[in-house]
Structure 1
Amino acid sequence: KDDPAFQAPSKPIGPFYTKVEADKISGDNKSVFQEDARGRGWRKVVASPTPLVIFNRQTIEKIAREGNIVIAVGGGGIPCFYVESNKLQGIDAVIDKDLASALLAAQVRADKLFILTDVPKVCLNYNTPQEKPLDKMTIAEAKKYLDEGHFGEGSMAPKVRAAINFVERSGKDTVITESRFLGDEHGGTRVTII
């Protein structure tokens, strides 16, 4: 609840509204709305705080140790905080699924993190004539490219941040790619320490 993201809600949720509808709802319950970049209307926006704890981590670890493939935190999880010892309360927010995955992978000491997306590799100058697919990025390069604005906030930027997060916590690699390249040793973009 103390995350700076609560001061600047940015994650769109729910249906689209007209400006008049959004203003009315906002006036009734103090919700924050933003106009959609593609002109489809107005949507409620909520904070997207950085996840700090995965509450079911031990259960997930146990299932993995038993030889099962675990698919978890796909929706990022339910955002909540402690209001008192051992009592959780939900909060109006959305947990980023990529950051939650990176946190879980580091906590369970995963050998590698695979972040799936709908493109084969991370690209600089994406969807332009100067597009350049990347086979590998160091953490320093990834941070530089983020600062230069190469990755869209609603698409690749959260994935690159999650990759950095996992590599910094674990010292192990992250691969960002689409699912058809999971078995390919040269598929995707590898994010590494050096």
Structure 2
Amino acid sequence: MCAATGGMIGYVLEQETGNILGYDVPVTTILTRIVVSVHDPEFIDPSKFVGPVLDKAGVDKLAAAHGWQFKRDGTTWRRVVPSPFPERILWHRPIRWLLEQNAVVICNGGGGIPVVAQPDGSMKGVEAVIDKDRASGLLATHIPADLLVLATDVDGVYADFGTAQLRRLPTLYSAEIDEAGFAAGSMGPKIAAARAFADATGTPAVTAALDQAALPHLHRSYLLRDVLKPAQDGASAQPAFAQLARGIHRHCQASLRRGTGELAGLGQGLTPAGDDFLCGLMLALNVAHPAPSILCQTITAQALRATTTLLGAFLRAAAAGHAMPQWHRLLAEGASPSAQGVADILRYGHSSGGDSLAGFLWGARNL
């Protein structure tokens, strides 16, 4: 069943993707086998609903004819099949090889094809349906992917769903997540898969509608990746960040100078990554800090000792609160920036957009 579903969906996606991208871009579908445990409790007490709703007479007839299991789904009955936990993807390396050749790879269709290991080392297919989110998270961890997008039909993750306290959670850190607070039949598996991926790889996962999630997160900024990575206390691994935080919170110029000194000139090219980060940080200070001038002056004076002439001009502008039009448009959107607004920032330069966004996000988080 899963093999047929994966092949059928793969064909449709491959055909339409090829029509959109043109046939100079290689697009391929791979049927993906995933190892599950024969001892998984789902094989004893299956929970995954499949197929149409039935009355009791229909259930009795199909159970007698095929040996299928059924459970109540509300006031009606539906067939249930095992949904075992995915343990390992067989031959994930060919998927990586194709990606390295810039191919668009369609895989894990239908949640992958569940197989169990036999005593002689061979694999045998089993009738089951693996949760698609967990399978996607496992594959993304194996590749490893730069970003895991778990698309859904809402614009993000919400807490207290179905209550008057409903609120959107734009950012979640691994240690903050209470998986029990999300419904097992809807957002729960996505949260679990996103958390497992982020914990294993240190890179972000996004759960949202495609028009919200389709940001160019495959940026080239290692600073942005460091700022976004999950951490139990939200702190960065970079010692410079700790010095900057101390300087901002305590108005300690010595700490500000030390933190700035570690970042200024860090990176290659005319606009080093560390200086772009400092520009974004000073923009955040100008937006959200009650007294940004002295802080920005201290950062700029220290950074000018180690950076390029071009970045010196950018640093002075950022210290005064000046920014590109893309930043003004993004800031005008308030607390819920659009996907397009963020994309416009990330497209700027080779990594400058991502580096400056890293500084802004870090500053906003630590003010």
Q: The TM-score by the shorter chain falls in which range?
A: 0.7 to 0.9
Closer/same/farther in 2, CA of residues 191 and 42 from structure 1, 3 Å limit: farther
1:158 aligns to 2:189 (yes or no): yes
Residues 1-20 of structure 1: matches in 2 within 5 Å?
1-20=38-57
Do the aligned residues in 2 keep the contact of 1:112 with 1:172 (CA within 8 Å)? Answer: yes
2:128 alignment partner, SS class: coil
Closer/same/farther in 2, CA of residues 163 and 29 from structure 1, 3 Å limit: same
Give the structure 2 partner of residue 174 of structure 1: 205
Amino acid at match of 2:71: Q
Percent identity of equivalent pairs: 35
Q: Separation in 2 of the partners of 1:104 and 1:154?
A: 21
Amino acid at match of 1:16: V
2:191 alignment partner, SS class: helix
Amino acid at match of 1:108: I
Closer/same/farther in 2, CA of residues 155 and 132 from structure 1, 3 Å limit: same
Per-residue deviation, 1:105: 0.6
- Of residues 76, 80, 102, the one that matches 1:45 is 80
1:192 aligns to 2:230 (yes or no): yes
Q: Which has the higher contact order (CA 8 A, sep 6+)?
A: 1
Q: Separation in 1 of the partners of 2:168 and 2:63?
A: 42
Per-residue deviation, 1:81: 1.0
Per-residue deviation, 1:123: 0.3
Q: Separation in 2 of the partners of 1:123 and 1:15?
A: 29
Per-residue deviation, 1:165: 1.5
Q: Separation in 2 of the partners of 1:5 and 1:75?
A: 18
Give per-residue Cα distances to partners, 1:42-75, cap 9 Å, x unaligned: 1111111111122241221111111233332131
Q: Cα RMSD over matched residues?
A: 2.1
Do the aligned residues in 2 keep the contact of 1:72 with 1:101 (CA within 8 Å)? Answer: no
Do the aligned residues in 2 keep the contact of 1:120 with 1:177 (CA within 8 Å)? Answer: yes
Give the structure 2 partner of residue 114 of structure 1: 149
Residues 49-128 of structure 1: matches in 2 within 5 Å?
49-128=84-163
Q: Separation in 2 of the partners of 1:129 and 1:74?
A: 37
Closer/same/farther in 2, CA of residues 192 and 72 from structure 1, 3 Å limit: farther
Amino acid at match of 2:108: V
Give the structure 1 partner of residue 323 of structure 2: none
Q: Which 10-residue stretch deviates more, 121-130 or 107-116?
A: 121-130
Q: Separation in 2 of the partners of 1:69 and 1:128?
A: 41
Q: Separation in 1 of the partners of 2:117 and 2:95?
A: 22
Give per-residue Cα distances to partners, 1:72-106, cap 9 Å, x unaligned: 21311111112244532111210111111111111
- Of residues 156, 170, 183, the one that matches 2:215 is 183
1:128 alignment partner, SS class: coil
1:132 aligns to 2:157 (yes or no): no
Do the aligned residues in 1 keep the contact of 2:202 with 2:229 (CA within 8 Å)? Answer: no
Amino acid at match of 1:158: P
Amino acid at match of 1:9: P
Unaligned stretches of 5+ in structure 2?
1-37, 218-227, 233-367
Task: Identify the structure with the greater strand proportion.
Answer: 1
Closer/same/farther in 2, CA of residues 93 and 72 from structure 1, 3 Å limit: same
Question: TM-score, normalised to structure 2's length?
Answer: 0.47
Q: Separation in 1 of the partners of 2:204 and 2:40?
A: 27
Q: Separation in 2 of the partners of 1:89 and 1:61?
A: 24
Do the aligned residues in 2 keep the contact of 1:167 with 1:193 (CA within 8 Å)? Answer: no
Unaligned stretches of 5+ in structure 1?
none
Do the aligned residues in 2 keep the contact of 1:79 with 1:91 (CA within 8 Å)? Answer: yes
Q: Separation in 2 of the partners of 1:94 and 1:11?
A: 7
1:141 aligns to 2:138 (yes or no): no
Do the aligned residues in 2 keep the contact of 1:174 with 1:192 (CA within 8 Å)? Answer: no
Question: TM-score, normalised to structure 1's length?
Answer: 0.84
Give per-residue Cα distances to partners, 1:136-189, cap 9 Å, x unaligned: 1122222x2x22xx322221111011111212222222111110011277xxxx
